[in-house]
Structure 1
Amino acid sequence: MDSNYTRPFRLPTDYKYILKWTQAFAHHTSLVFRNGQKAFLDNNCSYSNCYFTNDKSLLIDLRNFDAILFDVENNWDSHPPGRSSHQKYIFKASESAAHYPVCSRFYDNYYNWTWTYKLDSDIRWSYVTILDKEDNVVGPKINMTWMSPMGSTPDIVKKKLVKKRRAVAWFVSNCQTKERRVIADNLAESLDKYKLKVDIYGWCGNRTCPRNRLEDCLDLLQKTYYFYLSFENSWAEDYVTEKIFHPLLHYTVPVVYGGADYTRFLPPGSYIDAGKLNSDEVASLISTAIKDRHVYEEYFRWHNHYVYKESPPKADICELCRRLNTEEKQSTVGNFRKWWNPRYKEICRRGPHFTDLKFY
């Protein structure tokens, strides 16, 4: 690495320049990644002197950029020909490690920082923030400590549950007879013993709720359904998407299935983990809760202690800029491939691996 670098005279020298290296960013519609300084200013970041660009010729030399951002979806497009010791190479991923494993040993000790959904990332790409009743951020995190015992479900929450009349909903935009569909079908068979049904919305069901009217769909969920199938389309550590938070925020109990340790994300007693129970056991819990209003209300005791909010873009953006301004220590992620996906050897041997189910 070359430790000698200078700023070109035509641009402010006190900015932190972030080069979006891979093609994924060229097509990224999120305002989080728009070029320039505006994202940091608009989010009132404590450090706002950061500047996004996908123009590789903006500075005289690629080694002049303070950070180079690589997206997992196009991580292997190409590599910068040179690297300065002051630079931070950042691995960014919001997609699952199971679908985008990193197979080449070239990337071990390549990245300085990680910006992903994994809870031990340097910068978190998060769908949700958990707050206590004093508005302090308390999670999600690896070692989550939940309130115990929890108080009884608030009356205002109980009132939102009284008009529910259907057992289970599942919103799915594209499905095939794969693992998650089999789990759902088995559950449907088990529920049939109790004369309960899984209502499937989307291409593989007979009910409709357009994706462009998501709020209407969630309103339907809140008013009508006791439970919702929150099945992730990928089995990966910490990979938890809006699929579990949509029901949680709309007074419906999530039936989860995925590779995450859900105790890091959800209060105890607020969900059913279909990955740890067979379909008959899940169906029995659902039937019992529907028959006994008090049992069902117990799933919502967490409302006494916690608030879930969608994570704003500023949480990620501001942390990125803060780090670029305050952290000078240079280190790399040693066994990066294993950190990103502990099962990378198995997955990489199988070749390209893509999602077979897409949910919303």
Structure 2
Amino acid sequence: PILPEEDPHLIYGDRIEAQLSARPEGDVHSALIYQQIDERAEQTMWLLDECPVKCMVSNMDAHIGAADALIFNPDFIDRIPLTRKSSQMWFLQLIESPVNTPTLIDFNGKINYTVSYRWDADFVSPYGRFVPFKKPKTMLNKALSRKKKRVAWFVSHCLTTNRRWQFAKKLGTYIEVDIFGECGEGRKTQEEMREMLKNDYTFYLAFENSNCNDYITEKLFENALGNDIIPIVMGAPKEDYLKVAPPNSFIHVDDFEDAEKLAEYLKFLSTNDHAYQEYFAWKRLGRIEDSSLNCRICLFLQQPTPKYYDDIEKWWHGKQECLYATEPPAFIQ
């Protein structure tokens, strides 16, 4: 099963592995992918390592016409050709939640495949995923005693639909919460943030900017799990986190009646080494990896299944994927 309609019940990892395991029948050909990257990045082309087929990836505009596939974000609309060549596949990559994605009407009838963190995308591309080791490793204890501070939050957007700012401020009335970034004590570099999270803080607020199904970003995978700190998460439903995060690696706000109850649990963990270390036991069981998106697409391009989206706007914005806080949640009352 390669595309979601072929088996809608496959979870993230199963479909990713199925796409990575796919092998073409007959001759194998090299593939060239044009992938939109930050415009500030140097334009270049590279050969993808550890892919069963020869896969070239480029962000050079000169390759837009010759590429077998274009992978681009919605803001790329002014740079793509007016018409798609019959031999070229277009992949729309959606990395923001529907709340923060503009209308996609201009893409109706033009897109062949979708790339997104969302489970129903043709090529599921979560911000990270847990992959088990073949054999568990020896556990390394995480010393709680060296972490003197409690909760940190690095945030750039203060006003969001899920009222995460109010959540954090309410929690801060019961336990120490230090806020950095545009909404707090000034911005920090990525390196400064990593050092602070690794060495100083026990918990990190991995609060998403919107509460949408499957929307779990680098706040969990890079900022928290990548820096040996316990994430307190808010955003997607808990069951979505369980699909991609390591086992017993996070604390979800939905598990607590209110901010005071959450603070009580955080204080308990802060004084109990055994309970604290259980949140890092996953490190002996597996690791965080990306989803090998470009290799999966190059394999797929060997024998692509014809498809296109007549109404990509409805597919993305018409499914009630997000919750909007019209009243203050019980957590902050």
TM-score of the superposed pair, with normalisation by structure 2: 0.72
What is the alpha-carbon root mean square deviation over aligned residues?
3.5
- Describe the superposition over 1:262-297 as per-residue Cα deviations: whole angstroms up to 9, x where unpaired: 111223432111245321221121122123332222
**Counterpart of 1:247?**
224
Specify whether residues 92 and 252 from structure 1 end up closer, same or farther in structure 2 by C-alpha distance, changes over 3 A only: same
Q: Partner of 1:46 in structure 2?
A: 52
Partner of 2:283: 303
In structure 1, the partner of 2:123 is: 123
Structure 1: stretches of 5+ with no match in the other structure: 1-13, 60-64, 136-150, 348-360
Aligned partners of 1:254 and 1:346: how far apart in 2? 22
What is the aligned partner in structure 2 of residue 353 from structure 1? none
2:201 equivalent to 1:225: yes
Kept in 1: contact 2:206–2:231 (CA 8 A): yes
The one-letter code of the counterpart of 1:307 is: R
- Corresponding pairs, count: 289
Residue among 191, 208, 212 paired with 1:215: 191
> Match for residue 170 of structure 1?
153
Aligned residue type for 1:180:
R
Alpha-carbon separation, structure 1, partners of 2:268 and 2:87: 60
How far 1:228 moved relative to its partner? 0.8
Q: Distance in 2 between matches of 1:129 and 1:296?
A: 22
Q: Secondary structure at the match of 2:313?
A: helix
Correspondence for 1:67? 69
Residue 146 of structure 1 corresponds to none
Structure 2: gaps of 5 or more residues: 1-28, 324-333
Contact 1:226 1:290 in 2 (8 A): yes
1:289 corresponds to = 269
Listed one character per residue, the Cα deviations across residues 303-348 of structure 1 (whole Å, up to 9, x for unaligned) are: 3322224x38xx2222222222x2233122465334324457999x
2:153, 2:68 → 1: CA distance?
45
The one-letter code of the counterpart of 1:259 is A
Separation of aligned partners in 2, 1:103 and 1:281: 42
TM-score, scaled to structure 1: 0.67
Residue of structure 2 equivalent to 1:200: 179
C-alpha contact (below 8 Å) 2:129/2:245 kept by paired residues? no
Closer, same or farther in 2 for the Cα pair 1:49/1:285, shift >3 Å? closer
Q: Does 1:271 align with 2:255?
A: no
Distance, in Å, in 1 between the alignment partners of 2:132 and 2:322 is 40
Pair 1:57–1:319, CA change in 2 (3 A): closer
CA–CA distance in 2 between the matches of 1:129 and 1:181? 27
1:217-268 deviations in Å (ceiling 9; x for gaps): 2222122222110111233322222111222222211000113521112234
Kindly state the Cα deviation for residue 107 of structure 1 after the two structures are TM-superposed: 4.4
Which residue in the other structure is 2:4 paired with?
none
Fraction of identical pairs, as percent: 27
1:262 alignment partner in structure 2: 241
Q: Which amino acid aligns with 2:144?
A: L
Shift of 1:54: 2.4
- 2:169 aligned residue: 185
Q: Does 1:161 align with 2:111?
A: no
